[in-house]
C-alpha cells in the first residue's frame, strides 16, 4: 500500500504561505504542483519548484487541464481574496479531491471553507498570535495547541518539583498536567529529549515537555 504522506500535493495560491509550504514539501521529498494567477510569482518560483503553472484557480477547466483531478491532496493557500478562496475550495470538492486543506483569514471564513468542502482549515495568523501570546507569559519556551482545549508546552521545571522523582511531585493533583519527556541540561549540547518516567528526577535548567488542558498548562507555567 502506498504511503499517503508521500503522495503528490497541489498547492493553489503561491503567496508567502503557499510558496513556503510548497518549498517545504519539496524539501521533504513530496512532489508538488504549484498554481498561481500571477505570472510574476510563477516566474520567481520556477527555479525552486519543478512543477509550477500560471492559471486562474477559480476556472475549473483550467484546473482540469493542469491535471488537478488526479491529485488526492490539495492545499488552497490563496491569501486575501476571500471570494476566490471559497470558490477554489468548492471547485476542488467538485473535482473529487478527497483531502483538502485550506487557509482561512478569520473564524467566519474558516466556517465557510468547511461548509464548501475543506477537510482541514488553518488560520496561520491567528494560530501564531495565540502561540506568541502564550510564549510571552510565564515560563513557556514553546507552545502547540493540539485540540480545542489541549496543548503541549516546552518549559523549564518549577522550583517545587526540582530534585525529586516525578512520582513524588504530585504534578497531576497540583496542576492537572503530565510531564511526558525531558532533556537534561547536564548532558550538554548533545542532549536529546527522552521519555519521562515516574523515577525521572528533574533539575534546574532541564527542558520538559508537558501536556494538559490549556488553563492547567498556563497555571503550571506561572508557578515559581
Phi-psi label, residue 202: left if phi above 0, alpha if psi -120 to 50, beta otherwise: beta
* pLDDT above 90 as % of the chain: 60
Highest mean pLDDT among 9-23, 127-141, 143-157, 181-195: 9-23
Q: Which residue ranges make up each domain of the chain?
A: 7-122, 128-221
Average pLDDT over every residue of 190-207: 90
Predicted local distance difference test score (pLDDT) of residue 125: 74
Architecture of domain 128-221: 2-Layer Sandwich (3.30)
For residue 10, what are the contacts with CB-CB under 8 A and spacing of at least 6? 32, 33, 34, 35, 68, 71, 73, 74, 75
Average pLDDT over every residue of 59-75: 96
Predicted local distance difference test score (pLDDT) of residue 221: 84
Distance from the Cα of residue 216 to its chain's centroid:
22
At 1-14, the pLDDT tens digits run 344 557 899 999 99
Domains 7-122 and 128-221 fall in the same CATH topology? no
At 107-129, the pLDDT tens digits run 899 999 999 999 999 887 777 77
> Hey, what's the torsion of the CAs at 48, 49, 53, 59, to 10 degrees?
-120
Predicted local distance difference test score (pLDDT) of residue 2: 44
- Global pTM value: 0.69
pLDDT surpasses 90 at 92:
yes
The fold of 7-122 is Rossmann fold (3.40.50)
- CA–CA–CA angle 58, 61, 62 (5° rounding): 65
pLDDT surpasses 90 at 179:
yes
Amino acid at each position: 500500500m502506498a504511503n499517503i504522506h508521500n503522495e503528490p500535493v497541489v498547492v493553489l495560491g503561491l503567496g508567502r504561505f503557499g510558496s513556503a509550504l510548497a518549498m517545504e514539501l519539496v524539501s521533504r521529498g513530496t512532489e508538488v504542483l504549484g498554481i498561481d494567477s500571477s505570472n510574476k510569482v510563477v516566474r520567481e518560483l520556477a527555479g525552486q519548484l519543478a512543477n509550477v503553472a500560471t492559471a486562474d484557480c477559480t476556472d475549473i477547466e483550467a484546473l482540469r487541464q493542469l491535471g488537478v483531478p488526479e491529485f488526492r491532496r490539495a492545499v488552497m493557500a490563496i491569501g486575501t481574496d476571500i471570494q476566490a478562496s471559497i470558490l477554489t475550495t468548492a471547485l476542488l470538492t467538485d473535482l473529487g479531491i478527497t483531502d483538502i486543506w485550506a487557509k482561512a483569514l478569520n473564524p467566519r471564513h474558516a466556517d465557510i471553507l468547511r461548509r464548501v468542502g475543506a477537510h482541514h482549515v488553518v488560520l496561520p495568523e491567528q494560530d501564531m498570535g495565540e502561540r506568541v501570546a502564550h510564549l510571552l507569559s510565564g515560563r513557556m519556551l514553546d507552545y502547540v495547541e493540539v485540540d480545542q482545549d489541549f496543548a503541549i508546552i516546552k518549559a523549564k521545571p518549577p522550583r517545587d518539583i526540582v530534585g525529586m522523582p516525578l512520582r513524588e511531585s504530585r504534578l497531576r493533583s497540583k496542576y492537572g498536567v503530565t510531564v511526558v519527556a525531558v532533556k537534561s541540561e547536564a548532558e550538554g549540547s548533545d542532549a536529546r529529549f527522552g521519555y519521562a518516567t515516574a523515577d525521572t528526577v528533574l533539575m534546574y535548567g532541564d527542558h520538559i515537555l508537558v501536556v494538559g488542558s490549556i488553563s492547567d498548562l498556563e497555571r503550571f507555567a506561572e508557578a515559581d
